[in-house]
Every structure is written in structure tokens, then in C-alpha cells.
Chain A
Amino acid sequence: MKRKSISYAKWGYIFLIPFFVVYVIFSLVPLVQTFYYSFIDYTVSQGQAQSVRQATDVASNVIDNGFCGLANYKEVIVGDTPIFLSSLKNTMILWIIGFIPQIAVSLLLAVWFTDIRLKLKATGFFKTVIYLPNVIMASAFSLLFYNIFTRSGPFDSLFNMQILETASGSRVVVGLINFIMWYGNTTILLMASIMGIDTSLYESAQIDGANPTQTFWSITIPLIKPIFAYVVVTSMIGGLQMYDVPYLVGGTGGGPKTVLLTLVFQIQKGKNSNVSLVAALSVLIFIVSAILGFITLKIMKDDSVKTRYGKKKKKKA
């Protein structure tokens, strides 16, 4: 009955055409070009430093000295303009400041939401509220926080502190915004994973007299390890792309002592000037996220993807 007299295979290919054509034109070719620029000495000179938001129709001179090997990479890592190393450091610090409270709070809330003895009410309401900041325009959110913490803003007039004018202060503000925007998302991911744990494990632990702390460390944590790793790695990939929040908090200058100048910020900044340096930086971002992405795929393989194909094979047999 399953034998097909007509082959439908060609339709599979036809339906894949739009995706692959668009992907090749708008992602793959640009990626190859990015690699290409990273190996040549290519600079656009505008006569003066370009602001990020300036129009580009100023007459520009292209300096193209051709292939230069790994010189661009050397320059962005250990050279006079180590934009990769400095902005990677900035990005990682901002990510960590936001992520540590985020994972701690999310774990706590996820455990409470799923606790069979605690039986919290109105969890639907709480979930809706804590996820809300995630759908909000990061630019608007950041601008609001900028207004709150800026000189003579509400925070300054209450505590007499201009925290956006210090390096650590502005980092904390960006971390705080990232925390508020993302802890709801993490909570929901962790909750879904905890709810997948067999409740009989918790019941037997309870009968054996384990207290909530013991069940948390000996049952919950070991069993949610895969999703925990997934959350950490995907959050890191997201962190590498951090741009809106530090940009709107720090402005075009990247905050005090340029501590808010993230990796992606450099791309925006150098798109019309240090093209090949920015390209080298992009390739390095690509490599780092490829490694992180590979780890994510490894984690995911354990569940969804493999079972899907496993099922398929069984059906055919």
C-alpha cells in the first residue's frame, strides 16, 4: 500500500528552492565575502572619522592593497587596534553580569513553579508577567533605563549617583536590562524541562525524608543538565550578538571608556571605514558561534532531532 507509483521526490526539491536560493544570495554569499575581505587589505577612507549614523554618500576613497594573509587577524587580536579582543572582553563581561543573576533567579522560580507540594496559584499570571519584558523593543527599554540612570535622572536625584558615567556602573545597568529582559524566557525553558521529570522521583524522595534542597541538588539538577547546558550555550550565542542595549545606554561612543563597545557594535562602526578589520572580527565571531552552535546541536541531538528520525526509520521498516 505504501508503494508509490509516482515519485514525489521532485516536489521536495521544488519546495526547498525558495529557502536555499534566498539563503545563498542573502547569507552565504555575504559570508563568503566577509571571509574574502578579512584576507585583503581594504580600507575606505572618508577623510574623517565616520559616525555610526552618518549618511554614506560622501565621496570615499577605497584603499585596496590586495591579499595580506592573516595580517587583519593579527591586527584585531594583538595589533595596535585590537578591536576583537577588547570588544570580546566587553561583550563577555556584559553577558556574565546579566547571565549569573538570570540563571540563579530562573532556576529558583522554575523550581517553585513546578513544586508539587508548594502548589503555587496564579502561575499563569506570573509567567506572563515575567516574560513580558522579552517582547518589548530593546531600544525603548534601554532608552527608558538610560533616562532613569542618567545625570539628574530619577536615580541620580534620589541617591546622588551618576552611575552611567562610570565604567562599572554602565556595565551593571546593561547587565540589569539584559537580566530583566531574559530571565522570564530562561525560567520558562527550565520549567518545561523540570516538568518533564517523572513526578514519582520527587514523591519517593519525599517519602524518604529528603528536604527541598536535597531534592533540588540530587534530582532536579542532574536531570535538567541537558537543557541547562542548552540555556547557557544559546544565551552565549545571543550574548555575542548584543547590540541594542549597550548602544542605546552608551551612545555612539560606547559609554565611558568604551566599555559598552561590543563585537557587533564594531561591525556597525567600521562598515564604511575599516572594512577588512571588521571582516576579520566577523570571521572570528563566526568561528566562536560555530563552536557554540556545534555544542548546542550536540545537546539537541540527544532529544528532538534523533527521535524524529528514529521514528521515521521504524515506520519504514
Chain B
Amino acid sequence: MARIEGVAGQTDDRTRLTIRRVIAYTVLILFTVISLLPFYLLIINATRGKVQTGLQLVPSGNLGVNFKYLLGDTFKENYGNFFRSFFNSIIISASVTVLCVYFSALTAYAIHVYDFRLKKAAHTFILIVMMVPGQASAIGFYRMLKGMTIFGNNGLLDSYIPLIIPAIAAPGVYFFMIQYMSSSLPLEIVEAARIDGCGEFRTFNSIVLPVLKPAFAVQGIFCFVGAWNNLFMPQMLLDSPEKKTIPLILQIMRANINSNPSASDAGAMNLYMVLAILPVIVVYLILSKYIIRGIALGAVKG
């Protein structure tokens, strides 16, 4: 198609580009608002009173009162211990993160560096099980743990072990690690370490691990956030009130709203939610550059 090129055509083109830009920025700002509004409302609601009706866009002065209520006995009775739930969540998430990144790296290292007969079979196996959602075997998992009566009346239920140990076998993190290694871990490093007389296990711990630091940062965040936000498994396995994690407390809040619709603890509930998501937001904002790069890396290479 022939186009008439000239001064008029060029300005026409330029105005069209400007219009497109204006539209693009308007839509982007709209989506920024959509993404941030929930957090804004949450923070505002955390400063509001016990009964919240209607929408409010400016903070109120009840933050201190809500804090006191959150730490007080009434909250403990109705929903659970504030500090205890944070402590539980931190213990579980931190252990999951450490085990998950360390052992996924070790597994990926085994397949990336060594040559052995079952190498490809092991790799394919892990890729296949990566696609099986954990929930598909959850009922068997639950019954199995319940049946382990050598650990007590309720088996291994109501324990943190089945929430933490399975993190050692994380196919998704393995997949990320092996991709990262194939691009950033030259085998020469390993060979040099061998020549210097370094044992295989020590090579991995003291020479390879530092090289993998960036991958650890990204996957560590994802593991931590995944465990921190997890509702399904803790809900399935944990029963004792003192063992409950943050999402389980939120679930109790939800149940209480249902049985008591004129929810009178709205301020404290919203404050609890703000505190529950705050650590994740802070870490995310600090590391967002690496995290966003990591999302695409974990998937198909574009």
C-alpha cells in the first residue's frame, strides 16, 4: 500500500501516536488504582472503629485502640493469639524456605553436574510430577498422617512436620534452579575445585551455593510467600488453637462474621490483615526488580 508521505502525513502520525500514548497512560493509571485500592482501603479500615458501615477514604483515629484490642484477651478468645499466630507462620515459612531452596539446588546440581545413567529419567520424572497438584493426593496424605498412630493418638496430624518436610521435594523450584544453573554455573568451577582437592559435598556448599545467590533470593521469596499465604494444608492438618497460622486466624474471623453479621471487631480484623501482608509487601518492594525478572525465568523461555 502506497502512503503519501509529507509534512501533513507526519503530523497526522504524530498526533495518532500521542493519542495512543494518552490512552495507554490512562488505562495504566486506572489499573494502578485498581491494584492499589484494596491495600489503601485495608489500611484505612485498620484505622476505623469497631463497626464499619459504608465507604471511607480518609483515615480515622482508632489505630491505637485497634492495636490494644488486637493484643488483648478478647481478641485471643475470639480468634487466637496474635503473637503466637505470627510466630507460627514465621517458623513454618522460614523452615520451608530454607529446606526448599537448599534441597532444590542440591537436586538440580546433581542433575546438572554429574553424569549417570538415570540422569535424564530423573529429570523427566521431576518435570512430570511438577504438573501434579499437591491437592490431588491431599486426601491420601491426610489419611496417611492420621494413621501414623506411633506418633500419638492423631498420628502426625496437628504437627508442623508434614507442613515443613515436604518442601525438600519442590519440583517447580528444581526446574528454576536447573535453568539458572545451565545459564550461570560453568562446570569449570566444579572441576577447578576438584583439582584443588575439594570434596563433592563441600564444593556444593562452599563454592556453588554462593554462585546461586541470586536464584536463592528469587525462589526464596516465592517459597516464603507461598508458605506464608498457604491456607489449604494448614487448615487440613492443624487443629490446636495455639498452632494456628495467620491464614487460619483469618478463616476463623470469616466464620465469626458469618455467625455474627453485625461484626463488631472490624477495626482490629483489618489491622490484623494489614500486619499479615505488610512483611511480604516490604520485602517485595525491596526486591521487586529481581522478582519480576524471576517470574518469566521460571516459565517457558521467551
Are the CB atoms of A285 and B136 closer together than 8 Å? Answer: yes
Which stretch (A73-81, A82-90, A167-175, A239-247) binds chain B?
A239-247
B residues within 8 A CB of A304?
A: 179, 300-301
The A interface, classified by DSSP as helix, strand, loop or mixed, is helix
Are the CB atoms of A19 and B257 closer together than 8 Å? Answer: no
A305 at the interface (CB under 8 A from B): yes
B66 at the interface (CB under 8 A from A): no
Which stretch (B71-79, B80-88, B116-124, B211-219) binds chain A?
B116-124
Are the CB atoms of A127 and B131 closer together than 8 Å? Answer: no
CA distance A54 to B146 in the complex (A): 15
A residues within 8 A CB of B115?
A: 8-9, 12
Are the CB atoms of B232 and A244 closer together than 8 Å? Answer: yes
Are the CB atoms of A22 and B139 closer together than 8 Å? Answer: no
Distance of B133 from chain A, by nearest CB (Å): 5
A209 at the interface (CB under 8 A from B): yes
Distance of A24 from chain B, by nearest CB (Å): 9
CA distance A180 to B35 in the complex (A): 7
A198 at the interface (CB under 8 A from B): no
The B interface, classified by DSSP as helix, strand, loop or mixed, is helix
Are the CB atoms of B129 and A33 closer together than 8 Å? Answer: no
B27 at the interface (CB under 8 A from A): yes
A144 at the interface (CB under 8 A from B): yes
Distance of A204 from chain B, by nearest CB (Å): 14
A65 at the interface (CB under 8 A from B): no
A residues within 8 A CB of B225?
A: 135
A residues within 8 A CB of B42?
A: 140, 144
Contact of B3 among A22, A209, A252 (CB under 8 A): A209
The closest CB in chain A to the CB of B168 belongs to: A22
Interface size class of B (residues with CB under 8 A): 35 or more
A70 at the interface (CB under 8 A from B): no
The closest CB in chain A to the CB of B31 belongs to: A130
Distance of B132 from chain A, by nearest CB (Å): 6
A residues within 8 A CB of B296?
A: 188-189, 191-192
CA distance A151 to B265 in the complex (A): 16
Are the CB atoms of B139 and A34 closer together than 8 Å? Answer: yes
Are the CB atoms of B300 and A241 closer together than 8 Å? Answer: no
Distance of A101 from chain B, by nearest CB (Å): 11
The closest CB in chain B to the CB of A34 belongs to: B140
A300 at the interface (CB under 8 A from B): yes
**Known: A227-B302, A294-B131. Contact between A127 and B284, CB under 8 A?**
no
Extra contacts besides A8-B114, A136-B39, A157-B53 (17): CB < 8 Å: A22-B103, A22-B169, A31-B132, A31-B140, A57-B239, A118-B21, A135-B291, A139-B231, A140-B273, A141-B38, A151-B261, A154-B41, A154-B55, A155-B55, A244-B229, A285-B135, A293-B130
Residues of A within 8 A of B (CB): 8-16, 18-20, 22-23, 26-27, 29-37, 52-53, 55-57, 105, 108-109, 112, 117-118, 120, 124, 126-133, 135-141, 143-148, 150-155, 157-158, 180, 183-185, 188-189, 191-196, 208-209, 212, 224, 226-227, 230, 234, 237, 240-241, 243-244, 247-248, 251-252, 263-264, 267-268, 270-271, 275, 278-279, 282-283, 285-286, 289-290, 292-294, 296-297, 299-300, 302-305, 308-309, 311
Residues of B within 8 A of A (CB): 1, 3, 17, 20-21, 24-25, 27-28, 31-32, 34-36, 38-39, 41-42, 45, 52-56, 103-104, 106-107, 109-111, 113-120, 122, 126-144, 146, 153-154, 157, 162, 165-166, 168-169, 174, 178-179, 182, 200, 204, 221, 225, 228-229, 231-232, 235-236, 239, 246-247, 250-255, 257-258, 261, 266, 269-270, 273, 276-277, 280-281, 284-285, 288-289, 291-292, 295-296, 299-302
